[in-house]
Amino acid sequence: MTLAIVHSRALSGMEASEVSVEVHMANGLPAFAIVGLPDTEVKESRDRVRAAILTSGFTFPARKITVNLAPADLPKDSGRFDLPIALGILVASGQVKGDALGHYEFAGELALSGQLRAVRGGLAMTCHARRAGRAFVLPQQSAAEAALVADATVYSATTLLEVCAHLNGLQLLPRAQAESVLTTIGYPDLADVKGQGAAREALEIAAAGGHSLLLIGPPGTGKSMLASRLPGLLPPMQDDEALEAAAVQSLGSQGFSAEAWRARPFRAPHHTASAVAMVGGGSEPRPGEVSLAHRGVLFLDELPEFDRRVLEVLREPLENGVIHISRAARQATFPARFQLVAAMNPCPCGYLGHRSGRCQCTPEQVARYRGKISGPLLDRIDMHIEMPTLSPDELSGQGQGETSAAVRERVISARRIQLARQGKANADLSGAELDRYGLVEASAQQTLLQAVERLHLSARSYHRILRVARTIADLKGAERISRQEVLQAVQLRRAGLPNS
């Protein structure tokens, strides 16, 4: 046989397109060429593959070798093609049987010793291989995460020699097994937060309906503590949600750890993060913080300290739940359905309204500080909560607040009502769906319209208030939204930043 075809995958955003690694051998002077739009890492695989074949005890053929990565117009990157290229050479030279190649897909980077190194995106590639009806052979480190894909056949290998022995029928590779799913995830407990009853209630509403939240208060009032407790209040992840979130994280630079299976992501980027770090990008598009927080929480502390352009890129994913990255050579789409929790001080010094009276900021300084956050972005945040300084009695209080477990039970109950009624969380309802499922009493509708008129609220604010009111009613188990829920939702909308 002078031609061998090995199946593999190339990553482009969340897509893992099929790549046929075609290896042809011809007579002539020894040469080794790789074509099909390979990146630098793929071109360098020639030396890795040659050394790995020789150190594994095989003969590297002294012939003219041409490797074509089809389709030719699809960019190929990373070292994941090392393993399929090596197998193609060994099959084409008759050193390894190729009868079963069509039943498998392969990906893995080769060390010079023939060892297999982990590759990025194993979980995302396995999802597509399952749809194609093929088993996937991956390095041991990548196979553990790939095995999380239900009904997928994943084989774990540590060396090139083991893969060859499997194809030759001498010793079969072991099936990769998903690591045991954690029954209890160690989220921080809400009971650790003292006082702040209004903020705790807002956090519960945010968890129940999937709403975004802005916390405003002086330093030390518990803003960061509250934000870090939100993942522990959210309902358990469904299988498709967990797989979706894990697939996105497997594409990131840090990869995905099987220990984090079903744990809600919590991302807290520093305020010096760039716009590309926030939404993703690069010559090889990778997910940013908004996508790595998919199905979880994105926490932005010291919100006004972020660059204005960085904050503005949050508008589209907050509204649509996806992020589209367009570059000259590549386009990619990543999911970005996260809950935004932001925190900020009320003024530049942070002590506006503090009982100590230590704030010396002028109204102009306060307005300039708050003006760093645009009105359109604030309009997309469902609730704005003001957190006062704790009193000495609250600080020294020995009584423990309500635990995350107790609050989570109410959140799960409210979310169950939403799924039964409309099939999604209240925060994801469109305007038409809100009209259908809102179920607003006549007096509540009139109150809401009056609030919109008096407070000069936008149409977006109108819908966001209605969604929050729907969640409050669901937490109470009420079928229809009453005037009381509307008034509470309006108050949660305008606290702290009346002009938002």
List, for residues 273-309, the tens digit of each pLDDT value.
999 999 988 777 889 999 999 999 999 999 999 999 9
**DSSP at 133:** T
Give the closest residue to 5 by CA, choosing from 104, 101, 109. 101
- CA distances in angstroms from 23 to 60, 67, 87, 127, listed in the order given: 13, 5, 9, 26
Cβ-Cβ contacts under 8 Å for 429 (sequence gap 6 or more):
422, 437, 467, 470
**Averaged pLDDT score across all residues of the chain:** 90
Which residue has 């979980």 as its token pair? 123
Confidence check: pLDDT of 183 > 60: no
Confidence of residue 488 (pLDDT cuts 50, 70, 90): very high
What is the pLDDT, as a whole number, of residue 352? Answer: 87
**Does the pLDDT value for residue 496 go beyond 60?**
no
How far is 189 from 382, CA to CA, in rounded Å? Answer: 24
Structure tokens belonging to residue 320: 């649509």
- Model confidence band, residue 184 (pLDDT cutoffs 50, 70, 90): low
> Could you tell me if 49 and 92 are in contact, meaning their C-beta atoms sit under 8 angstroms apart?
no
Nearest Cα neighbor of 78 from 52, 110, 30, 113 is 110
The proportion of the chain whose per-residue pLDDT surpasses 90, expressed as a percent, equals 68
pTM, two decimal places: 0.85
Q: What is the pLDDT of residues 316-357, one digit of tens each?
A: 999 889 998 887 667 888 999 999 999 999 999 988 878 778
For the record, the structure tokens of 190 come out as 């809400």
Q: What is the pLDDT of residues 201-240, one digit of tens each?
A: 999 999 999 999 999 999 888 899 999 999 999 999 988 8
Give the integer Cα–Cα distance in Å for 365 and 367: 5
> What is each CA distance from 229 to 161, 206, 295, 296, in whole angstroms?
48, 12, 15, 12
The per-residue pLDDT for 398 is 59
**pLDDT for residue 497:** 45
328 against 114, higher pLDDT: 114
> Other C-beta atoms within 10 Å of 492: how many?
24
Give backbone dihedrals phi and psi of 127, rounded to 5 degrees, phi first.
-55, -40
Q: Could you read off the pLDDT of 422-468 as tens digits, one per residue?
A: 999 999 999 899 999 988 999 999 999 999 999 888 899 999 999 99
**Which of 455 and 400 is assigned the larger pLDDT?**
455
How does residue 20 score in pLDDT terms, banded at 50, 70 and 90?
very high
Q: Which residues contact 343 (CB under 8 A, 6 or more apart)?
A: 214, 215, 216, 217, 223, 224, 227, 299, 300, 301, 302, 303
For range 380-397, the mean pLDDT: 82
Q: What is the pLDDT of residue 258?
A: 73
Please tell me what DSSP assigns to residue 347.
S
Is the pLDDT at 75 greater than 90? The verdict is no
pLDDT digits (tens, 9 = 90+) for 134-173: 999 999 989 988 888 888 999 999 999 999 999 999 999 9
DSSP 86-98: HHHHHHHTTSS--
First-last CA distance in the chain:
71
What is the tens place of the pLDDT at every residue in 234-278?
A: 999 988 888 889 889 888 878 887 778 888 999 999 999 999 999
pLDDT value for 399: 56
Rounded-to-integer distance, Cα 398 and Cα 153, Å: 54
